[in-house]
Amino acid sequence: MSEAQSIIPSLYLPVSKQQLLLPNVSVAEVVSYQAPAESPTTPDYFLGMIEWRGINIPVISYELANKETQSTLTKNARIAVINTIGKHQASLPFFAIVTQGIPRLVKVSDDLIKPIEKNTGKADSLFVKVDGEEAIIPDIEFLESLAYANM
């Protein structure tokens, strides 16, 4: 395999006290924060719906889905629109996660990424260190299932 094939362009998405790591292809777009239209009968992690490119998509709080405390929104808060990958993809092609800042680009390769032994929450797949910087690879299918269950 050539070196160009082993590098994965990715994004750090800042959330409360940590950052998520996702491949660029997982993120459809990062948009300015807009308050989701709330629904009073949904769980706290389901923040509501926003309109994006003419469709309504659900917005999830990663922190609350992981049973953590949701921090106050920062002035740099954004919404990351995520491409779905699971069994609900046909009826739910996208959902969104609130970030606490502007995402950063990072190039990930096998020699730069190392797993870290930490307790993971339900919304986590793996803790990693990328070139010395800690991040969480989220469980996108789990978050997608939460979004789908509350649409």
Interval 20-30: pLDDT, tens: 999 999 999 99
**CA angle, 123 then 35 then 51, to 5°:** 85
- The count of structural domains within the chain is 1
In eight-state DSSP terms, residue 147 is: H
Interval 76-97: pLDDT, tens: 899 999 999 888 889 999 999 9
Instruction: List C-alpha distances in Å: 99 to 19, 77, 115.
Output: 9, 6, 23
With contact defined as beta carbons under 8 Å apart, do 77 and 71 qualify? no
User: Closest Cα partner for 15 from 56, 58, 69?
Assistant: 69
Domain of residue 74, CATH code: 2.40.50.180
Mean pLDDT split into 10-residue runs, the chain, 151 residues: 71 93 96 91 93 96 88 87 91 95 92 88 93 94 93 80
Range of the domain at 114: 3-149
